[in-house]
Chain A
Amino acid sequence: MDTTAIRNDFMSLKDGLVYLDSAATSLTPEPVLEAMNEYYRNYRANVHRGLYAEAERATERYEEARKNIAAFIGATADEVIFTSSATAASNMLVYALEHTLELQEGDEIVTTVMEHHAMLLPLQELAKRNGLVVKYAQLTKDFALDLEDLRELITEKTRIVAVTGASNVTGRVACVPEDTLTTGARPVIVRDMTACVGHMPVNMSALDADFAFFSGHKMCGPTGTGVLYGKKEWLDKLRPGYFGGGMVDSVTLDEATYHVGVPGFEAGTANVGGVIGLGAAVSYLTRIGMDEIRAHVEGLTNYAFEKLGALEGVTLYAAPPEVNVGIVSLTLVGVHPHDVAEIAGQHNVAVRAGHHCALPLHNALGVVATTRASFYLYNTRDDIDALVEAVNDARRTFN
């Protein structure tokens, strides 16, 4: 992988920015910007509506993006719904499940303490509305999900099992082992793949999830794009949670019938330019190679462990590199995570401080906040050296 060439595709890096905050949002490569510009400049039109050339071209490109993105995650185009973000996808899914599953009071949801609030809160609210019980699988060593715990929590009453693909704090990848699901009727399996897609090869058909979601902006795509994946069998029977134009078969003043499958879940005008940009992002990542990107990030994570782990007063909250999507959170003794991040910022090093929308996980880790560095295809060892320098500076400043 030619990191120098890759870095040239990212204009944000031109002025020496050390960008270690891709887990918050990634940077955008030129081909993605060009694809979106081309749409806005040359063939801007709504999709699935007009009969003129631009509208046809827009529709073709939009649907081509869907095919590309589906192939990228080992799915088919009729399993990919576009949303405005992971959060939007998660909320939409939870409403749709509420309308579909005929949930009974006392039914259970099993999830984990690793979840991002984007998954956790819609489930908590669903539980409140319907008198459901939410149970949480805990962590075991190396920040891994305790699979024994997960197995034990799942009972005949479990209707939904939601397990993140990877933690956005510790980087730890997680799974739902097949043998967890042999008891009773199979619950609906939901995976938050936001930290994974575009960061490691993902194959939905191998994952055996019923639903999954992710954001486009953490994988070189534009903000305001997201995907809800649903297994074909599920999308055919899932009842929509959002209603509006473009998703209907017929409408009278009394009632309406809706398209079946993907078109029934894309109400209103889509983020056409954004989806075309996300399609270009997927082409870009594919051209470089997801295996190569994964290996590169694993190498950087290894290096970060070696360098940051050796620093006095630093505690790492990060899974071992081989099971880490490229995220290393840390604390520095005697210095608040915000001050570490601010001093890093003075060194032109972009990292994030806080609880990273994962409060229960921080409680499980026993810290109120951390400073988080995340690595992606455009990062180098020099970036990590710059972070090390910044952390040392923070220690000096406060000692």
Chain B
Amino acid sequence: MNEELYQAHILQHAKHPHNKEELADATISVPAKNTSCGDAYTLQLNVQDGFIEKAAFTGIGCAISQAAASLLTDKLTGMSTHEAAQVSEEDVYTLLHVPISTTREKCALLLWRALHEALKEHHA
């Protein structure tokens, strides 16, 4: 893996994130906040018959959290909620494919944490 954090694909996702939109037909909306850096996101899922028809997000944050949100929502769309529940921290790091230092872990995993909140809510 290249040592560089701000590689082209990260910058691309940060500047032009996928799925950054308000879902009119969301069945679940979960806020995700990183108060120490001021990052505030909302993860939205439209779940139909146990499948994520569409995953999207809104919010502001650093390049790492934006890229992670973009990549993660790409991956989630089309998954069953059971598959989504299996998405691990490691999967997020694999999606990002850049070295994430301890101080940036919370940026990388912000939306992933929201995902697990969302699934808990969905199954409750």
Contacts and interface: CB of A to CB of B under 8 A. Distances in A.
Interface of A: 336-339, 342-343, 346, 353-355, 359, 362, 367-369, 397-398
B60 A343 contact: no
Interface string B2-15: 00011000010011
Contact of B38 (A339, A343, A368, A398): A368
A244 to B, nearest CB: 33
Nearest to A357: B36
B15 A354 contact: no
B37 A338 contact: yes
Contacts of A362: 38
A330 to B, nearest CB: 15
Contacts of B75: none
Given A354-B38, A369-B37, A397-B11, A338 B6 contact: no
Interface in B54-86: 60-64
A338 B39 CA distance: 10
Contact of A355 (B5, B14, B38, B104): B38
Residue among A339, A346, A367, A397 having the largest count of chain B Cβ atoms under 10 Å: A339
B107 interface: yes
Contacts of B38: 337, 354-355, 362, 367-369
Nearest to A369: B38
A338 B37 CA distance: 7
Contacts of A355: 35-38
B76 to A, nearest CB: 23
Given A338-B62, A368-B60, A398-B63, A353 B11 contact: no
Interface residues of B, number: 18
Contacts of B39: 368
A354 B106 CA distance: 13
Nearest to B40: A368
A343 B11 CA distance: 13
Interface of B: 5-6, 11, 14-15, 35-40, 60-64, 104, 107
Contacts of A339: 6, 62-64
Q: List the 8 closest A-B pairs by CB distance, nearest first.
A: A368-B38, A336-B62, A369-B38, A338-B62, A339-B63, A339-B62, A338-B37, A354-B37
10 contacts: A338-B107, A339-B6, A342-B62, A354-B38, A355-B37, A368-B60, A369-B38, A397-B6, A397-B11, A398-B11
Residue among B38, B61, B107 having the largest count of chain A Cβ atoms under 10 Å: B38
A342 B104 contact: yes
Residue among B15, B35, B37, B64 having the largest count of chain A Cβ atoms under 10 Å: B37
Given A368-B60, A398-B63, A337 B37 contact: yes
Contacts of A337: 37-38, 62
A231 to B, nearest CB: 36
A336 B36 contact: no
Contacts of B15: 398
A343 B62 contact: no
Contacts of A353: 37
Given A338-B64, A355-B35, A355-B37, 19 more contacts: A336-B37, A336-B61, A336-B62, A337-B38, A338-B104, A338-B107, A339-B62, A339-B64, A342-B5, A342-B62, A342-B104, A346-B5, A354-B38, A355-B36, A355-B38, A359-B35, A362-B38, A397-B6, A398-B14
Contacts of A359: 35
A168 to B, nearest CB: 15
Contacts of B63: 336, 339, 398
A130 B37 CA distance: 32
A369 B36 CA distance: 9
Contacts of B64: 338-339
A339 B6 CA distance: 9
